[in-house]
């Protein structure tokens, strides 16, 4: 495959409330930032990820296109998925060999609606949605199937929030406390990623172009994704076969892993993903704070790739793994390996 | 363009107002199984699945690829969901082709659908994001002023739209999958129907359909059966609210066509192509796109329509299948254009086959006439 690298990453200072900015206003400054950092004005391909249901209106990506200033007209596409899949589409497009750079972005404002209920609209509309399970309830089913240790879950949340407080873009969340509410057994309220508004952008470049534009590109040496059956009863909820398959296809086990950024929106998902990706004990997991410290839905997966790449670009890691998830209970998983 | 890619299977459902006999999963599976049967393959032969549809609010199922993974045999494989407004069907084919052109996969199943009867598309189109102005006009209300501007610029006579409405519905009578079948349709019948959005009359607009379309795309090494080779593929988008953008003949459409013609070595589309399947949801978009796509000089598109050149027996048939005016499962409508182009160059279009078609254009557009997806397929290996 053609060598492709992350050469720039930008994200908003995420907020736990509606800060009064429309989606294009979240995205616009990030596009300017990565343009400035790379010196690129135009990109060979552009791809974004967003979800209409967060805004409660069709075509939420159309106004974002206004923000990036698509003139003259650009070669562009959009996935109604986390923008990590937009990055995958861009990586595929760069393999053709006729273009050398790509812009990827994603955005979401989950403050605008009831995210827990909105996420249940992605269930099978005939057999699952009418059961009335919201997002936290089906996550709790998975946590129960895993039989996760409470102390381990608490430690994951405590570590993530502490790391988040050290990350200027993540939320400032206190140590977890029972006062935050009961949650759905066996999950507590703090086991769920917080409601967050935000956006992120990444620039990819191929081969020599990447070396020209970036001192230390984060090369994508493997990237793959897999989906599983939708119905929870068809899966072993305590494991993630699709994350394990994607990790094997991406070559996670071919070398040491200094850092792993995992798209775990509930504390128990981190345990499942660590096992599925067969991460060594020494791997630093979610040093950015991860989704439990900032979860701008539809950008969260892309941010995992950006955070992992930043560790490489800044020379703080030699080999990093990034993961993104979609669908109920980790139905769909994407894994990327980044190297310096 | 990368590695060679070919269409080796096409599957369509019958398009109709309500498919109450199947779920959404049943609908997409019906198209997928037909495409696999055409290719002589099974789900086991497929490496990845790409699915496209227009806004999720149309059925009320968010990110439905999660729910549809099982029905499309995607479990254990990569699956992508594309959404680029009305052009999405075309974009879905292009994303699928891109996976093969990149050398990532050998066989990709692409599927697009809309089951409009599950919800209400005009409601879904009329809501608007917070902090944004709402047009509350639906698609017809949005595009009618652009058509009036086209007529003002070109001085086209008022009956041109009627000619397209009749021609496409006569073609639909030859297509077993078409939704609208109106035997005996003529100008008088179209002109007797109510004016919806001036100058668009009831029979000059597309229907609301349930339906799905699927294609199996293959790498050169794994080609089976009768291939339609991809000679060119391109997408272009432009910002909706840019001041000074020409919404009647958008630059993104011109650029996309120029890109795809360059890849396929097309110097004069009217002469070098044998048939075109172009996204014409309102009758007047035929003359408008004839100009935008370079089949006619600026201001001359309506003359080509009037001359009969775009009829099934004309020198450059447009929408031999009956087009979007005859079947409109919105998210699938673009993929149907791409699939019908492939059927023509495979010689498998049945009664609406254009004799000896060797090169065909598939076209889709969406948003405020700002998203474009096009491909050119041919019977010969590029």
CATH code of residue A93: 3.40.47.10
* Side-chain-facing half-sphere of A88: CA atoms under 13 Å: 34
Question: What is the Rg, in whole angstroms, of the alpha carbon atoms belonging to chain A?
Answer: 19
Closest to A164 (Cα-Cα) out of A29, A314, A296, A19: A296
pLDDT for A69 equals 86
Q: What is the pLDDT of residue A127?
A: 94
Architecture per CATH, domain B5-121+208-222, reads as: 3-Layer(aba) Sandwich (3.40)
Q: Using CB atoms, which residue from B78, B84, B256 is nearest to A225?
A: B78
Q: What are the tokens at B47?
A: 């490496």
Q: How many A-B residue pairs are in contact by the CB < 8 A criterion?
A: 206
Same domain? A98 vs A87: yes
The answer to whether residues B7 and B215 touch, using CB atoms and an 8 Å cutoff, is yes
Q: How many domains does chain A have?
A: 2
Measured CA to CA, the distance from residue A298 to residue A311 in angstroms comes to 22
Distance CA A253, CA A115 (A): 35
Q: How far apart are CA B183 and CA A125, in angstroms?
A: 38
Instruction: Say if strands A319-326 and A259-261 run parallel, antiparallel, or are unpaired.
Output: parallel
Instruction: State the number of CA atoms in the 13 A half-sphere of B34 facing the CB.
Output: 17
Residues of chain A with pLDDT under 70: none
Determine the pLDDT at residue A55.
87
DSSP per-residue codes, A209-243: HHHHH-SS-EEEEEEEEEE--SSGGGS-TTS-HHH
For B12, residues 6+ apart whose C-beta sits below 8 A from its C-beta are B31, B34, B177, B211, B212, B213, B214, B336, B339
pLDDT tens digits along B159-205: 999 999 999 999 999 999 999 999 999 999 999 999 999 999 999 99
Q: B219: burial class by Cβ within 10 Å (0-12, 13-18, 19+)?
A: buried
Mean pLDDT confidence for B360-376? 96
Position A58 scores a pLDDT of 84
Residue B136: count of CB within 10 angstroms of its CB: 11
What is the average per-residue pLDDT within B34-52? 98
Backbone angles phi, psi at B124, to 5 degrees: -60, -30
The single-letter DSSP state of residue B282 is: B
Q: What is the pLDDT of residue A128?
A: 94
pLDDT score recorded for residue A226: 98
In this structure, the answer to whether residues A224 and A157 fall within a common structural domain is yes
A57 lies in the same domain as A175 = no
Q: Is the pLDDT of residue B123 over 80?
A: no
A56: tokens are 């409660």
Give the model's pLDDT for residue B302: 98
Note the pLDDT of residue B132: 66
The answer to whether residue B55 scores a pLDDT higher than 80 is yes
CB within 8 Å: A66 and B245: no
Q: Which residues of B116-134 are buried (b: 16+ CB within 10 A; e: fewer)?
A: bbbbebeebbbebbeeeee
Q: What is the structure's pLDDT at A56?
A: 86
Residue whose C-alpha is closest to residue A90's, from A146, A48, A28, A140: A48
Number of Cβ within 10 Å of residue B137's Cβ equals 15
Q: Do A245 and B251 touch (CB under 8 A)?
A: no
Q: Do A74 and B237 touch (CB under 8 A)?
A: yes
Residue identified by tokens 């004016």 is B195
- Give percent of chain B with pLDDT exceeding 90: 91
The Cα–Cα gap between A314 and A308 comes to: 10
Residue spans of the domains in chain B: they are 5-121+208-222
- Read off the pLDDT band of B135 (50, 70, 90): low
Instruction: Report the percent of chain B where pLDDT is more than 70.
Output: 97
Work out the widest C-alpha separation in chain B, in whole angstroms. Answer: 57
In chain B, residues with a C-beta closer than 8 Å to the C-beta of A1 are: 103-104
Model confidence at B112: pLDDT above 90: yes
Rounded Cα distance, B287 and B188, in Å:
20
Of A156, A181, A213, the last residue of a domain is: A213
Looking at the structure, tell me whether residues A34 and A48 fall in a common domain: yes
CA B87, chain centre distance (Å): 7
Please tell me the distance in Å from B245's CA to the nearest CA on chain A: 9
Using the beta-carbon criterion (under 8 Å), do A59 and B85 form an inter-chain contact?
Answer: yes
Q: What is the DSSP string of A148-166?
A: --HHHHHHHHHHHHHHHHT
Q: What gap in Å lies between CA B280 and CA B202, rounded to an integer?
A: 15
The CA distance from A225 to the nearest CA of chain B, in Å, is: 5
Instruction: Give A224→chain B minimum CA distance, Å.
Output: 8
Residues A183 and A109 grouped into a single domain: no
Closest by CA to B370, choosing from B258, B261, B245, is: B245
| Cβ neighbour number for residue B41 with a 10 Å cutoff | 20
> CA distances (Å), A162 to each of A16, A166, A174, B296, B341, in order?
16, 7, 8, 65, 57
* Same domain, yes or no: A189 and A200: no
Identify all chain A residues contacting B330, using CB atoms and an 8 Å cutoff. none
Dmax over Cα atoms in chain A, in whole Å?
Answer: 56
Q: Which residues pair with A259 in a beta bridge?
A: A284, A320
What's the pLDDT score for residue B131? 64
Full residue range of the structural domain in which residue A171 is found:
115-193+220-339
Distance CA B301, CA A74 (A): 26
- Please check whether residue A1 is in contact with residue A285, taking contact to mean a CB–CB distance below 8 angstroms: no
B54, B32, B77, B289: which is closest to B164 by C-alpha?
Answer: B289
Contact of B78 with chain A, judged by CB distance below 8 Å, is answered with yes
Q: Give the pLDDT score at B325.
A: 98
Radius of gyration of chain B from its Cα atoms, rounded to whole angstroms: 19
Q: Is the pLDDT of residue B129 over 70?
A: no
The pLDDT score that the predictor gives to residue B130 is 64
| DSSP secondary structure letter of residue A95 | T
Does the model's pTM come out above 0.95? yes
Contact between residue B281 and residue B147 where contact means Cβ atoms under 8 Å apart: no
According to the model, what pLDDT value does residue B133 have? 65
Q: What is the pLDDT of residue B242?
A: 86
Per CB-CB distance under 8 Å, the chain B contacts of A97 are 2
- Decide if the complex's ipTM is over 0.95: yes
Q: Which residue has the tokens 């974004």?
A: A48
> How far is it, in rounded angstroms, from Cα B8 to Cα A137?
44
Chain A CB contacts of B139 below 8 Å = none
Cβ–Cβ under 8 Å, residues A113 and A135: no
Same domain for A26 and A108? yes
Task: Of A164, A236, A181, give the one whose Cα is nearest residue A16.
Answer: A164
pLDDT in the model for residue A339? 98
Closest C-alpha to A312, from A321, A303, A301: A321
Of A180, A213, A246, which residue constitutes the final position of a domain?
Answer: A213
């Amino acid at each position: 495959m053609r060598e492709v690298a992350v050469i720039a990453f930008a994200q908003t200072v995420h907020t736990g409330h509606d800060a009064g900015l429309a989606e294009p206003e979240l995205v616009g400054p990030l596009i300017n930032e990565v343009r400035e950092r790379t010196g690129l004005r135009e990109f060979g391909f552009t791809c974004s990820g967003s979800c209409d249901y967060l805004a409660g209106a069709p075509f939420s990506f159309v106004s974002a296109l206004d923000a990036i200033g698509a003139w003259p007209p650009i070669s562009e596409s959009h996935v109604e998925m986390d923008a990590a899949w937009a990055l995958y589409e861009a990586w595929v497009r760069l393999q053709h060999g006729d273009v050398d750079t790509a812009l990827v972005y994603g955005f979401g404002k989950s403050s605008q609606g009831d995210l827990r209920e909105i996420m249940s609209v992605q269930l099978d509309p005939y057999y699952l949605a009418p059961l009335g399970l919201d997002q936290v309830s089906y996550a709790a089913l998975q946590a129960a199937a895993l039989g996760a240790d409470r102390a381990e879950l608490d430690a994951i949340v405590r570590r993530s929030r502490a790391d988040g407080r050290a990350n200027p873009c993540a939320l400032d969340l206190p140590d977890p406390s029972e006062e935050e509410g009961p949650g759905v057994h066996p999950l507590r309220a703090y086991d769920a990623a917080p409601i967050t508004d935000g956006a992120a952008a990444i620039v990819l470049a191929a081969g020599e172009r990447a070396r020209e534009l970036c001192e230390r590109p984060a090369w994508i040496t493997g990237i793959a994704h897999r989906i599983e059956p939708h119905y929870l009863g068809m899966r072993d909820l305590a494991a993630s076969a699709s994350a394990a398959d994607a990790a094997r296809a991406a070559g996670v086990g071919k070398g040491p892993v200094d850092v792993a950024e995992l798209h775990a929106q509930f504390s128990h998902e981190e345990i499942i993903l660590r096992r599925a990706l067969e991460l060594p004990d020494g791997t630093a997991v979610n040093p950015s704070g991860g989704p439990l410290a900032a979860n701008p839905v539809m950008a969260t997966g892309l941010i995992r790739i950006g955070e992992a790449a930043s560790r490489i670009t800044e020379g703080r890691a030699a080999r990093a793994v990034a993961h993104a998830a979609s669908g109920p209970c980790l139905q769909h998983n994407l894994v990327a390996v980044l190297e310096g | 363009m990368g590695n060679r890619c070919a269409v080796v299977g096409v599957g369509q459902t019958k398009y109709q107002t309500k498919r109450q006999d199947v779920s959404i999963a049943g609908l997409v599976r019906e198209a997928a199984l037909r495409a696999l049967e055409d290719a002589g393959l099974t789900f086991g032969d497929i490496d990845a699945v790409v699915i496209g549809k227009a806004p999720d609010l149309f059925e009320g199922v968010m990110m439905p690829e999660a729910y549809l993974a099982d029905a499309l045999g995607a479990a254990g494989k990569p699956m992508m969901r594309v959404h680029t407004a009305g052009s999405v069907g075309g974009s879905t084919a292009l994303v699928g082709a891109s996976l093969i052109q990149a050398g990532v996969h050998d066989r990709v199943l692409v599927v697009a659908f809309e089951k409009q009867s599950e919800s209400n598309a005009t409601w879904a189109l009329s809501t608007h994001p917070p902090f944004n102005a709402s047009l509350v006009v639906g698609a017809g209300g949005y595009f009618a002023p652009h058509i009036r501007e086209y007529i003002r610029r070109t001085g086209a006579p008022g009956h041109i739209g009627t000619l397209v409405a009749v021609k496409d519905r006569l073609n639909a009578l030859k297509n077993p999958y078409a939704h609208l079948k109106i035997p005996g349709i003529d100008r008088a019948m179209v002109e007797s129907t109510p004016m919806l959005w001036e100058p668009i009359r009831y029979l000059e607009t597309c229907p609301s359909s349930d339906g799905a379309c699927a294609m199996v795309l293959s790498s050169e090494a794994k080609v089976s059966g009768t291939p339609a080779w991809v000679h060119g593929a391109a997408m272009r988008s432009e910002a909706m609210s840019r001041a000074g953008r020409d919404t009647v003949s958008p630059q993104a459409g011109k650029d996309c066509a120029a890109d795809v013609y360059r890849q396929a070595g097309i110097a004069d589309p009217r002469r070098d192509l044998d048939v075109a399947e172009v996204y014409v949801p309102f009758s007047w978009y035929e003359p408008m796109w004839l100009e935008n796509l370079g089949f006619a000089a600026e201001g001359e598109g309506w003359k080509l329509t009037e001359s009969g050149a775009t009829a099934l027996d004309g020198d450059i048939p447009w929408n031999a299948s009956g087009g979007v005016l005859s079947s409109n499962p919105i998210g699938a409508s673009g993929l149907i254009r791409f699939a019908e182009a492939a059927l023509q160059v495979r010689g498998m279009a049945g009664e609406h086959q254009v004799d000896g078609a060797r090169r065909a254009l598939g076209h889709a557009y969406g948003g405020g006439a700002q998203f474009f997806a096009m491909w050119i397929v041919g019977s010969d290996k590029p």
